[in-house]
Amino acid sequence: MAEKQKINMSIMDGDAFFSHETSINFSPTQFIFDFRCITPRIDARSPTATIALKHNVVMIEPYHAKQFLNVLSKVVKKYESEFGKIEKPASLEKAEKKNKKIKKTKEGKTVKSPSYFG
């Protein structure tokens, strides 16, 4: 009779993370998901504000990216059938319109306002 082999397993859960922005890039061998959280930090003792940027990067193979797309699509459809269509919040629409405004510099050059929405 064969002996059963015991295996010790250690699972390290990551910290919960809320992402305000996500970018996705790719190379021939992988997709790179960069989930970012941008938080302004204000300290009454400091004359300047600080912006804290935290991000988690997930890299997966192209086949798994395609599987992720399929699963995410199914979950979004299920969510919308239960809770209604997901739509862009009015406050985000307003912010995007505000950020699309073109500004002119003293030199007469046009500069688009920076966007923090992906």
pLDDT per residue as tens digits for the range 13-62: 878 888 988 999 999 999 999 999 988 887 778 778 788 888 899 999 99
Q: How far is the C-alpha of 76 from the C-alpha of 22, rounded, in Å?
A: 17
Whole-prediction pTM:
0.63
Query: Does a structural domain hold residue 64?
Result: yes
Q: What Rg value do the Cα atoms of the chain yield, rounded? A: 22
Query: Does a structural domain hold residue 50?
Result: yes
Furthest-apart CA pair in the chain: how many Å?
86
What's the domain count of the chain? 1
pLDDT tens-digit series, residues 85-105: 999 999 988 888 887 765 656
Q: Domain range for residue 77?
A: 21-98
Our CA angle for 78, 82, 84, nearest 5°, is 100
